[in-house]
Amino acid sequence: MRLAALRCASSGTVDVKVPLNFWCGDRVKIKDVSTTEPVYEPATGRVLCELELCGSLEVNQAVQAAQSAYQAWSRMSGMERAHIMIEAARIIENRREDIAEIEVVNNGKSITEARMDVDSARLCIEYYAGVASTLAGQHIQLPGGSFAYTRREPLGVCVGIGAWNYPFQIAAWKSAPALACGNSMVFKPSPVTPVTAVMLAEIYAKAGTPEGLFNIVQGGQETGSLLCHHPDVAKVSFTGSVPTGKKIMEMCSKGVKQVTLELGGKSPLLIFEDSDLGNAVKGALMANFLSQGQVCSNGTRVFVQRQMLPEFLEEVVRRTKDIEIGDPLLESTRMGALVSRPHLDRVLGYVEQARKEGAKVLCGGEPFVPLDPKLRGGYYMTPCVLGDCTDDMTCVKEEIFGPVMSVLSFETEEEALLRANNSALGLAAGVFTSDVKRAHRVVEHLKAGSCFINNYNITPVEVPFGGFKMSGIGRENGQVTVEHYTQMKTVFVEMGDVDSLF
Ligand SMILES: NC(=O)c1ccc[n+]([C@@H]2O[C@H](COP(=O)([O-])OP(=O)(O)OC[C@H]3O[C@@H](n4cnc5c(N)ncnc54)[C@H](O)[C@@H]3O)[C@@H](O)[C@H]2O)c1
Ligand SMILES: C[N+](C)(C)CCCC=O
């Protein structure tokens, strides 16, 4: 099978002509397309392609393909599945640069970050290839030589629905555990970033998965809703906003389907006065400015202990002003374009609102127009640090999902914990301190699913990732995911006679 070529030389030169839907092992051009939607290149504002959206006919075809592949795949041993997944990981490694470049063109993040995302996707598939061969049940002894055993069985056709901030990585983080456990998958990327998930589908097919094992249907909420309601779908794993997550859960409840929900956050980062200043500042930058600030786990409420505040602010503002913004395909660029014009306007609106509510804009928060004429229509802004923030401000309460750091000050550990936990969300949290006892004590009290001590926003694939409270249900990555993509069967075996009461 030939992989569709989409090489790009520089921003502003790519047109996506290949179909972006994929089932039965191939890219599919929809017959009689009724709805299309433009897809943009954030770096330039150009239209990359018109996306063909799937309706019920196409969703049915994809689910049927997944059902038939499931029959073959679920009967293979874990080791057999592992071999194929390792081959998929090898192909990703060979195509790393292609995938990363196309991710940049469709998402706007810097090439340096896109390469890290592709590496995370590959590592995730390698990790779950290893897990596939270790799936096992339990043996339980019963009286009289009788016994019971448990089997971990796959669920069937699983659906993945992705957000636009990590398009290729999310597709891998969902498909790798699902496939390792013997399921098949229909994946729906965000219609804003539809281009790279289909590259993953081609790669799995080329690696030797049965035709229809991993399929892509393109579309927005209508297509997503068709998937959630489909009677042949066993589970939905969703990454996106809290309001959509609630709808997904509601739709899945109709069919009593399992859900994994990876939702939004408004995570706190606590910096104590005994922290190493350099590391605390680097941590705060990593917690706020990766992917133009469009990261679910970002630590956007930066609480700094009063005595350290002046030196922290001076250093964090200095380093934020130094961030090189521009063409995301250039090696020197550290911050690319936000994902869309409406999203950029929304983020700039939050900065304006913060100003009105009394926050001090210490740097950034303005639209940015690069000198290169081809980038003038792109969606850029300068990364922003807001000082004098208070807990009641909109910028401190709501997920902005852009490069905007809100800095707050605190006096005591107890006060910082109370304020940090005062949120309906609980995806992540961080603490910087050189006091090891304080670090663990604080983390014990933080109401968040993913906590970092003296670092922020690292997500090794062998470590579970996910949220408390309204930030989600279930986990991605790590061993625990096996529980989310399998169901347990218990088998009782009688070795004696039936002891009947009748
Ligand atoms: N916790 C995590 O792991 C994680 C990771 C990345 C992003 N996010 C969150 O995602 C959000 C940003 O992403 P977004 O704007 O793409 O989110 P979104 O909720 O708008 O959309 C996410 C996906 O859901 C689909 N969708 C929308 N309505 C639907 C419906 N009614 N039925 C089925 N599918 C539907 C969209 O087409 C898209 O594919 C942020 O809140 C961010 O925090 C969370
Ligand atoms: C930035 N990380 C560390 C890759 C986390 C991505 C998870 C979701 O946005």
DSSP 58-119: HHHHHHHHHHHHHHHHHHS-HHHHHHHHHHHHHHHHHTHHHHHHHHHHHH---HHHHHHHHH
Nearest atom of ligand 2 to the alpha carbon of 116: 4
Predicted TM-score of the model (pTM): 0.97
Mutate which of 169, 267, 292, 477 to test ligand 2's pocket (most atoms within 8 Å of Cβ)? Answer: 169
What's the confidence (pLDDT) of residue 1? 47
Q: Which residues have C-beta within 8 Å of that of residue 450, sequence separation ≥ 6?
A: 297, 427, 428, 429, 459, 465, 466, 467
Cα 296 to middle of ligand 2, angstroms: 7
- How high is the mean pLDDT of the chain? 97
Supply the pLDDT for residue 33.
Answer: 87
With 50 as the cut, is the pLDDT of residue 492 above it? yes
State residue 7's pLDDT score: 56
Q: Residue 468: is its pLDDT beyond 60?
A: yes
pLDDT above 80 (res 45) = yes
Whether the CB-CB separation of 451 and 143 falls below 8 Å is answered with: no
Mutation test residue for ligand 1: of 244, 249, 252, the one with most atoms within 8 Å of CB: 244
pLDDT of residue 32 exceeding 90: no
Q: What would the mean pLDDT of 234-263 be, rounded to a whole number?
A: 98
Cα distance between residue 158 and residue 69, in whole Å: 12
- Ligand 2 centroid to Cα of residue 241, in Å, is 14
Ligand 1 contacts CB of residue 117 (under 6 A): no
Q: Is the pLDDT of residue 364 over 70?
A: yes
Give the rounded percent of residues in the chain with a pLDDT score beyond 70: 98
Residue to substitute in 242, 456, 459, 477 for testing ligand 2 pocket (most ligand atoms within 8 angstroms of CB): 459
User: What does the pLDDT average to over 17-45?
Assistant: 95
Output the CA 320–ligand 2 centroid distance in Å. Answer: 20
pLDDT at position 4 is 59
Rounded distance between C-alpha atoms, residue 158 and residue 227, angstroms: 10
Residue 191 Cα: closest atom of ligand 1: 37
Q: Is residue 483 annotated as a catalytic residue, yes or no?
A: no
pLDDT band at residue 57, thresholds of 50, 70 and 90?
very high
The per-residue pLDDT for range 328-348, each reduced to its tens digit, is 999 999 999 999 999 999 999
With a 6 A CB cut-off, is 401 part of the ligand 1 pocket?
A: yes
**pLDDT beyond 80 at 2:** no
Q: What is the pLDDT of residues 158-191, one digit of tens each?
A: 999 999 999 999 999 999 999 999 999 999 999 9
Q: How confident is the model at residue 5 (pLDDT cuts 50, 70, 90)?
A: low
User: What number is the average pLDDT over the span 362-380?
Assistant: 98
Under DSSP, the state recorded for 409 is E
Please answer whether residues 149 and 137 qualify as being in contact, where contact means their C-beta atoms are separated by less than 8 angstroms: yes
Question: What mean pLDDT comes out for the span 130-149?
Answer: 97
Residue 34's pLDDT is: 83
